[in-house]
């Protein structure tokens, strides 16, 4: 039996071990741990990769989202609309920025449904926070049109989408600001926690920098209440090294996605994410390969019994399912999706043969149940 783990952190480390060791020694010998040149270099490279003016390294994307909301001027008491199919982090950030997260339905592409956004707008709504989920960018034309019509701010949760594009423009560059995650499982992942806030607006960048530096401005004067959220210099150095190879990484993931499509595209019991290049408006980076499957739980068990790791995102709980946090929304489309969705292995350790094995195992599962 083949072993195809959902994610393989040791293999990820081994594949770049010598380079990581060199970077570690270089940074360590320079004693360059906090806010040093490597961080500034990475922030500059990240900003130019995305085509925005500013990138600010932060401790993680959850902090980044909160900072983005605060720096964009979202006020206590405001409502912020987000997809219920997102990480808890999106809602947590809104809550701790003093606003109320309003989860709405996602569409057939698993991304926030613009019609549901419009239907959820009230006099208290100040922002839309679309999650660029699974490495695909939302229909930003529709969301931007709604935001303009109602005078709302867009802040993107681009934690999963560095390098994903919609109509040629990168996720993270559509709204006032966005947050990106470098959690190890991300396509650009570091060896621990890390994140960034990106924005084109200098005023928002400065406000965000102050928030993350105890409220200190560039001259060291305390100008507001702030906290401490920084991307470690060592992590930044590791990330900058990986960013140089990032295009090839995306290319590999798109190849794997195309292979899944080739092998599973005609299996009637599963619905696949759009194949690479199937829609000229979208360039997807396949952070996750999230499919819909009939008899999902049995399939998951069957794959596990055959050595294939899978994951159901957010442990199978959408935001509106979190009753302990006071959510009361009824979102039947999202409920139905959460009964069917499952993520197949998608990572840089995955070989083409692994994909064939996963596909064969899925076909065996459904074949044996005809």
- What residue ranges bind ligand PLP (CB under 6 A)? 60-62, 86-87, 89-90, 131, 157, 159-160, 181, 183, 195
What phi-psi label fits residue 98: left (phi over 0), alpha (psi between -120 and 50 degrees) or beta?
Answer: left
8 A C-beta contact, residue 217 and residue 205: no
Q: How far apart are alpha carbons 248 and 242 in whole angstroms?
A: 10
8 A C-beta contact, residue 294 and residue 269: yes
CA dihedral 94, 98, 100, 101 (to 10 degrees): 10
The nearer residue to ligand PLP, 60 or 209, going by C-beta atoms, is 60
As measured in angstroms, the least distance from the Cβ of 197 to ligand PLP is 11
The nearer residue to ligand PLP, 289 or 357, going by C-beta atoms, is 289
CA distances from 153 to 107, 143, 172, 176 (A): 21, 10, 13, 7
The nearer residue to ligand PLP, 195 or 276, going by C-beta atoms, is 195
Closest of 69, 74, 96, 75 to residue 156, by C-alpha: 69
The nearer residue to ligand PLP, 198 or 264, going by C-beta atoms, is 198
The nearer residue to ligand PLP, 23 or 68, going by C-beta atoms, is 68
The nearer residue to ligand PLP, 175 or 195, going by C-beta atoms, is 195
As measured in angstroms, the least distance from the Cβ of 365 to ligand PLP is 28
As measured in angstroms, the least distance from the Cβ of 302 to ligand PLP is 27
Secondary structure element (H or E) that encloses residue 179, with its range? strand 177-181
As measured in angstroms, the least distance from the Cβ of 320 to ligand PLP is 16
As measured in angstroms, the least distance from the Cβ of 314 to ligand PLP is 9
Q: Inter-axis angle of helices 17-30 and 233-243, to 10 degrees?
A: 140
For the chain, how big is the Rg over CA atoms in Å?
21
As measured in angstroms, the least distance from the Cβ of 363 to ligand PLP is 30
């Amino acid at each position: 039996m083949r072993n195809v783990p959902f994610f393989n952190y040791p293999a990820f480390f081994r594949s770049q071990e010598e380079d990581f060791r060199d970077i570690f020694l270089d940074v360590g010998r320079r004693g360059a741990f906090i806010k040093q040149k490597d961080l500034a270099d990475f922030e500059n490279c990240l900003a130019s990769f995305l085509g925005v003016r500013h990138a600010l390294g932060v401790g993680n994307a959850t902090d980044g989202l909160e900072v983005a909301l605060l720096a964009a001027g979202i006020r206590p008491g405001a409502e912020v609309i987000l997809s219920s199919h997102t990480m808890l982090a999106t809602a947590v950030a809104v809550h701790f920025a003093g606003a109320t997260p309003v989860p709405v339905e996602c569409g057939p592409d698993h991304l926030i449904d613009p019609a549901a956004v419009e239907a959820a707008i009230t006099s208290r709504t100040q922002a839309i926070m679309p999650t660029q989920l699974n490495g695909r960018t939302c229909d930003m034309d529709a969301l931007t049109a709604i935001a303009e019509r109602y005078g709302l701010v867009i802040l993107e949760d681009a934690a999963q989408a560095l390098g994903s594009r919609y109509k040629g423009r990168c996720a993270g560059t559509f709204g006032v600001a966005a947050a990106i995650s470098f959690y190890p499982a991300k396509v650009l992942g570091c060896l621990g926690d890390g994140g960034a806030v990106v924005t084109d607006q200098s005023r928002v960048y400065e406000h965000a920098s102050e928030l993350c530096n105890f409220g200190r401005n560039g001259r060291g004067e305390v100008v507001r209440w702030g906290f401490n959220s920084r991307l470690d210099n060592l992590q930044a150095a590791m990330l900058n090294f990986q960013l140089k190879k990032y295009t090839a990484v995306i290319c590999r993931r798109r190849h794997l996605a195309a292979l899944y499509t080739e092998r599973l595209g005609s299996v009637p019991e599963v619905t696949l994410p759009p194949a690479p290049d199937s829609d000229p408006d979208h360039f997807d980076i396949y952070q996750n390969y999230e499919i819909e499957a009939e008899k999902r739980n049995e399939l998951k068990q069957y794959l596990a019994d055959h050595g294939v790791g899978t994951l159901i995102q957010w442990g199978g709980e959408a935001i509106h399912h979190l009753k302990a946090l006071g959510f009361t929304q009824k979102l039947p489309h999202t409920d139905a999706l959460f009964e069917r969705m499952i993520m197949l292995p998608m990572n840089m350790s995955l070989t083409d043969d692994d994909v064939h094995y996963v596909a064969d195992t899925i076909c065996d599962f459904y074949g044996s149940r005809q």
